[in-house]
Amino acid sequence: MNKPVLLVIAHGSRDPRHAASVHALVERVRSLRPGLRVETGFLDFNVPSVHGVLESLAAEDVRDVVALPLLLTRAFHAKADIPAVLRQAPPRLRIRQADVLGPSPLLLDALERRLYEAGLTPADKSSTGVVLASAGSTDPEAIAVIADIAREWRRTGWCAVRPAFASASLPRTEDAVRELRAAGCAGVAVAPYVLAPGFLPDRIARGAAGADVLADVLGPAPEVARAVLGRYDEARRPSLAALGA
């Protein structure tokens, strides 16, 4: 049985760092799963477009595709934009939409990796408060998920974890930094819960001016690549079970 093509669907950005980070992540995914065909399509701003990739796959007589939203929460893009684009795909394609990447323990591991790369150590956890800084959303489900992740992450030993948002929701990163200072944490770190650089991650970075540590975006962290493959495998599972594979 031929494996379905994995189509990673990224948002896209005018900021060239965004596409570069997406492509670096996709390359890491390929390195972890040799033999799996992985393509990248963008919803906006960058090429190739999702529709263009789907047309090309159909022209090559590809039949099965797993479309994976490169998103951390199930907000508007996952619920509306991406399904709408996939409905316009060539009818010969059988497309399954995978779930978004988060929440996942792998992403918490990636967040900690970035904090340690920025200078923290495991010994700092009990004295350090962390701002879990996401892009933000008007979707209540997405906001609730970020709050749940913050609570779960706090239980792993950090002094405190506060969610913050770069847009659409409150508090902002700078407000959460001040809250953690007031709560008595000896150190404050900001962990961007975003996949690639761009306008909103830059806003998070500006809001982190009062923190002691600012981690990098998740980008091509190996844990993120493993999360991508995990969602791909989950999307394939019904057909694998049916075939005894």
pLDDT of residue 243: 41
Count of other CB atoms within 10 angstroms of residue 44: 13
| pLDDT value of position 237 | 86
pLDDT above 50 for 147 = yes
- Find all residues with CB under 8 Å of 87, minimum gap 6, and list them: none
Strand order in the sheet with 64-69: 38-42, 5-10, 64-69, 94-97
Q: pTM of the entire structure?
A: 0.95
Tens of pLDDT, residue by residue over 115-125, are: 999 999 999 99
- 44, amino acid identity: D
pLDDT-based confidence at residue 245 (cuts at 50, 70, 90): very low
- What is the CB neighbour count within 10 angstroms for residue 38? 18
How many helical (H) and strand (E) elements, i.e. helices and strands, does the chain have? 9, 8
Strand-pair category, 128-134 with 160-165: parallel
Helix (H, G, I), strand (E, B) or coil at 189: strand
Q: What is the mean pLDDT of residues 32-45?
A: 97
Pick from 120, 1, 21, 9: which is nearest to 64 by CA?
1
pLDDT for 241 beyond 50: no
Percent above pLDDT 70 for the chain: 96
**Dist. CA 35–CA 56, nearest whole Å:** 19
pLDDT at 242 over 90: no
| Structure confidence at residue 39 (pLDDT) | 98
- Rg for the chain, CA atoms, rounded: 19
pLDDT mean over 68-75? 93
Non-local CB neighbours of 220 within 8 Å, separated by 6+ positions: 21, 24, 25, 27, 28
Confidence (pLDDT) at 164: 98
pLDDT tens digit string along 97-119? 999 999 999 999 999 999 999 99
Q: What is the pLDDT of residue 1?
A: 59
